């Protein structure tokens, strides 16, 4: 059974930082593409960043220079370091996994339950 468990969300003032973590089980993590999505109230789910098994990374333009995705294959974890947070970053953040980058980009792989990030102005 695949499980993706996010942690690290919370409430922070604008300009602050948070580090999200996603613990994966039930998949061969080292060959899985991983991603972070977010969904703000009333908006569609948005791909924030994804990382391939080989470490190739892509970000949505709105977070470039502020967010960093990374993975630790020894711990089966993927992280999202979020710096200089803005109120518009407020959303539920979801971890996603898939057998290929196309799978996570399409959103057709596995999903976690999400963790809330709230940024106050």
40-91 pLDDT per residue, tens: 999 999 999 999 999 999 999 999 999 999 999 999 999 999 999 999 999 9
Cβ contact 34:112 at 8 Å: no
pLDDT band at 7 (very low <50, low <70, confident <90, very high): very high
Q: How confident is the model over 109-121, as pLDDT tens digits?
A: 999 999 999 999 9
Cα–Cα distance for residue pair 113/104, rounded to 1 Å: 15
pLDDT band at 94 (very low <50, low <70, confident <90, very high): very high
């Amino acid at each position: 059974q695949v499980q993706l468990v996010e942690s690290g969300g919370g409430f922070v003032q604008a300009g602050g930082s948070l580090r999200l973590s996603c613990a994966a089980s039930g998949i061969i993590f080292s060959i899985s593409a991983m991603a972070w999505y977010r969904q703000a109230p009333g908006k569609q789910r948005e791909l924030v960043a994804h990382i391939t098994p080989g470490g190739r990374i892509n970000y949505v333009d709105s977070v470039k220079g502020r967010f960093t995705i990374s993975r630790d294959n020894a711990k089966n974890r993927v992280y999202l370091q979020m710096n200089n947070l803005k109120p518009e970053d407020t959303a539920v953040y979801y971890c996603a996994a898939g057998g290929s980058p196309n799978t996570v980009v399409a959103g057709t792989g596995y999903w976690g339950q999400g963790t809330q990030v709230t940024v106050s102005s």
